[in-house]
Amino acid sequence: MKILLLLTSSDEMVNLFEKGGSDEYIVLATDNLKKGADLILTEQVHIIALDITISDNIPLWIKRYGHIPGLIWLGILPPGVSKESLEFQGEYQSIFHETLHTPLVPEAISKEVSNILQKYKLSGRLRNSLHAPNSYQERYNIQEKNSISSFESLEKAVALARTFTASFDLDKLANLFLDGVMEVLAVSRGSLLLFDPEDEVYRIKAFRGLHPDITSRVSLSSDSGMVSWLSSRGRILRRDNSEKEFSHQNIPEHAFNEMETLQAIVSIPVMYEGKLICILNLDYKVTGEAYSRTELEKLFVLSNYFGRTVEDIYNHQKVCYQKEYIQKILEKMGSGVITVNDREKIIIFNPRAEEILKRSSRDMLGKSAQSLPEPLGNLIKATIREGKVYRKHEIIIEKEGVFLEVDSYGLYDPKGKFIGGVLLLDDISAKKELSIEKKKGDTLQTLNSLAGRMAHELRNPLVAVRTFTQLLKERFNDPEFQDFFYNTVTEEVEKLNNLIEKLVAFVNPIEYKFEVLEISEIMDECLESLLKEYKISDIRLNKNYKKEMFKIRADSIQIHKAFSYILQNSFDSIPPDGTLTISFEYLPKDAIIITIKDNFRVIPQEDLENIFDPCYTSSVREVWLGFPLSHKIIEDHGGRLYISSTPGQGTVISVQLPVITQ
């Protein structure tokens, strides 16, 4: 923190300096020259801001204290007084480094003081760096003609580099660096050529003492004389050497022509990782002295520190551009994006996520993933902690009544280290409502169609029941009729009951009570029940499975129905000496396929394509509700049902179900 001593009798000016203050300096104000002198002697004052209207004795006061080294003088001039006026030049020209004119504004004060601090800090470090003693030369008493400085260790250059990295304003940095170099070396003309990555040419970024028309037109390509030589050699190019030395160094003539255009005697390459990113061009010193080898060595080192900073700024700009680009993408995305780091803290919450979840990013950023509405918090935690990935996973946010489709991903750095997770959210509420309405319409249409098709199936048993009921009066006492009546009516009523049961089960939601079951036991129970019912003794039944092989999570009653309907369809078609084979096969992705294969029937292709449609009447005028209902139950258990039929080979019914691995 620097101390700024303000000498003024204006309270308004004091307030303006304090308002315009920053973290860089503290304002000490006084309206008395004597008090000001005391503060200079007792406090570590860095900047003196002097209102020249405070007293008539200012010139004498300045002569007394202006010689103190390290002080930066800022003159505050009234309207009408300029740096070019005779009065100013006679009394203040030699002391003030910069000037401000009243009336003042806080922004101008802050900017000017900040510029002064950076400019004179930079020039001071450059001066120290270029004029510091060299322990190597002192030790061996080495003298160098025209040398005003000695080669030194790079501590001060490192300090200077820290000054460079304090700002990411490339224009400001280039001008500060060029000003500092030219002031320390007493050079009147100079320029800084900087590589433009977009156009891949070198353009003048900062210049002093050159005509603007020249600087605006100069651009050097990578194959120009100067750039080509400096890039390949990585050494300083001098135009003040003898022609013999030019020839010896194989310097192309057009390189010197380019230097002449830039009015440069010395061109210093600024390299970074073997790449030429900048060229510092300097004219003769105003004293006429030649540049010493040691000066150029030090300047070369400092220039390359500057080059490293330029590269850092380029990288910073790339990161900022990429961040801005990503931010714009996130803002325009139709999906909500929530990113959580490896500590389960929310770091991205884009506008669409705000809109979907009715929460502000200001309230969510930095919060725990647990603060997300459930079940989102649990989903992202499962992704981070267990590596679980969700794809098109549908959930509902109960409080808001919002249906969401969620995807989750893990995030990894270039080395493969896990760094967080992402949730992608899509609001499917409108789609879900439309689907529900469509399902209602489809169900109603299905019922209407099914009712018409069921009439025939229901009529046959009813006709038989009605016929026997009409004969009941006449043959009531006939024992043979009674027995026949009982068996026939019972059978037809059972057909009606089964048909209605399937119809009700198909059109109404089924309530499942899941439990862990052994699939082989389910299959054995279904087979045993059907074999008793059909009383088939001459078929060949091959059971290619063992007991206690696979466990599934299922509703006992419903899964029995599903397999019973499938097996019943096969038993209805079994001819004498037919073979029915039942096999189990485990799949790598924690699933099992139950295959029921016969060698005796072929389902027509038209029937096969519509076999799961409850409204379809088969080619043999049958309404198959067993397969549609089995299909529905198996899908509700997370499984799939396939049926294929090939002439000469028979029919294969495959049921795939997830199994419990633990």
The residue from 316, 351, 385 where one domain ends is 316
Q: Is residue 331 a contact partner of residue 353, using CB atoms and an 8 Å limit?
A: no
pLDDT of residue 292 exceeding 70, the answer is yes
pLDDT at residue 458 is higher than 80: no
* pLDDT over threshold 60, residue 78: yes
Mean pLDDT of the 584-588 span: 85
Mean pLDDT of 45-63: 85
Q: Is the pLDDT of residue 642 over 50?
A: yes
280, part of any domain: yes
- On average, the pLDDT of the chain sits at 78
The per-residue pLDDT for range 98-140, each reduced to its tens digit, is 888 888 888 888 888 877 777 666 655 555 555 544 433 443 3
- The confidence score (pLDDT) of residue 466 equals 76
- Report which secondary-structure segment, H or E, holds 387: none
Strands 551-555 and 514-518: antiparallel
End-to-end alpha-carbon separation of the chain, Å?
66
- What is 488-529 written as a DSSP string? HHHHHHHHHHHHHHHHHHHHSPPPP-EEEEEHHHHHHHHHHH
Distance CA(621)–CA(171), nearest Å, equals 87
Q: Return the CATH number at 189.
A: 3.30.450.40
Whether the model clears a pTM of 0.75, i.e. scores above it, the answer is no
- With 0-12 / 13-18 / 19 or more C-beta atoms within 10 angstroms meaning exposed / middle / buried, residue 303 is buried
Predicted local distance difference test score (pLDDT) of residue 161: 47
The domain that contains 374 carries what CATH number? Answer: 3.30.450.20
The answer to whether the CB of 419 falls within 8 A of the CB of 413 is yes
Do 202 and 264 fall into the same domain?
A: yes
Range of the domain at 85: 2-104
Number of compact structural domains in the chain:
5
The CATH number linked to 618 is 3.30.565.10
Confidence band, pLDDT 50/70/90 cuts, at residue 442: low
For residue 130, being part of any structural domain is answered with: no
Mean pLDDT of 599-618: 75
Closest C-alpha among 239, 263, 261, 268 to residue 251: 239
380-411: pLDDT as tens digits: 888 888 888 888 888 888 777 788 888 888 88
Same domain, 202 and 220: yes
Q: Do 90 and 160 sit in the same domain of this protein?
A: no
Q: Say which residue, 181 or 500, is predicted with more confidence.
A: 181
> Mean pLDDT over residues 615-634, rounded?
69
Cβ neighbours of residue 220 under 8 Å, at least 6 residues apart? Answer: 193, 201, 202, 226, 227, 258
Q: Is residue 328 domain-resident?
A: no
Q: Is residue 161 within 8 Å of residue 143, measured between CB atoms?
A: no
- Say what the pLDDT of residue 158 is: 41
Residues 479 and 531 in one domain: no
- Asked if the model's pLDDT at residue 460 lies above 60, the reply is yes
Tell me, yes or no, whether 549 and 643 share the same domain. Answer: yes
Give residue 321's pLDDT band: very low, low, confident or very high (50, 70, 90).
low
Answer yes or no: do 35 and 163 share one domain: no
Is residue 321 in some structural domain? no
- Specify the length of the chain in residues: 662
Is residue 323 situated within a structural domain?
no
pLDDT band at 363 (very low <50, low <70, confident <90, very high): confident
660: pLDDT strictly greater than 80: yes
**Lowest-confidence region among 10-24, 247-261, 622-636, 640-654:** 247-261
